[in-house]
Structure 1
């Protein structure tokens, strides 16, 4: 058996009590997720988080820490994902930049707005990463060794 986890990154971006999410079309529904995606060849985890956030939201961000490292097996297909979740603050928005093709829009929501729609979460990691960010502590970016 050839089992291989998928390495992904996600970013919790906060601005004045609101958090940046993406609305994407998955399995016939619009779901909410942090800006997230797969690590690509020859990039660091930090570079992947910055790239994915820009591609999916048109926001440049500054990474401020590591929220956590998660292992998640999707019940829908049995695929295992290792997610490294970062914290970030917004730096610059590029409103004319096109978003990734599977992204409907980027949206700023409060925690309460996110929790009000559990049927729209991409996975249980969406609220978990947010709550872990809010509970702290944030881990230093120095934790990552490139």
Structure 2
């Protein structure tokens, strides 16, 4: 059997101590996640991160740094490699339709996310924010 991890991207978008979070319907539950998604064919990781954030939140963002690389194996056995970026919010497109399954975008504090930990899509949501807050960030030039 061939091992085929899924390549994904995510963005940590912070504004005044609040983080841009996606509330989505997933397998019959409402979960919280960073704006995130899969890399598409012929797309760079940088472009995928900006695209996914816009599609899921209606926000155009400017990527600033790479905050981490993560491996996660879901309960169904699928492994994901997530490249996480920090980004600045630039423009909100309020009338934009959001991706299927997305209920809304929310701005939440770290404390609010910790309080709603039971709703997180995976532990990566808080892991990525914790790393963003406490670990080194890397230049976007790291991605070739």
Q: TM range, normalised to the smaller chain?
A: over 0.9
Which segments of 5 or more consecutive residues in structure 1 lack a partner in the other structure? none
Give the 5 Å matches for 1:1-146: 1-74=1-74, 76-145=75-144
Equivalent-residue separation in structure 1 for 2:61 and 2:76 (angstroms): 32
Deviations 1:16-63, CA, capped at 9 Å, x for gaps: 100000001011110000000000000100000000000000000000
Q: TM-score, normalised by structure 2?
A: 0.99
Deviations 1:57-106, CA, capped at 9 Å, x for gaps: 000000010010001111x2010000000000100000000000110000
Q: TM-score, normalised by structure 1?
A: 0.97
Equivalent-residue separation in structure 2 for 1:136 and 1:142 (angstroms): 18
Count of matched residue pairs: 144
Equivalent-residue separation in structure 2 for 1:83 and 1:106 (angstroms): 20
3-state SS, counterpart of residue 51 of structure 2:
helix
Which segments of 5 or more consecutive residues in structure 2 lack a partner in the other structure? none
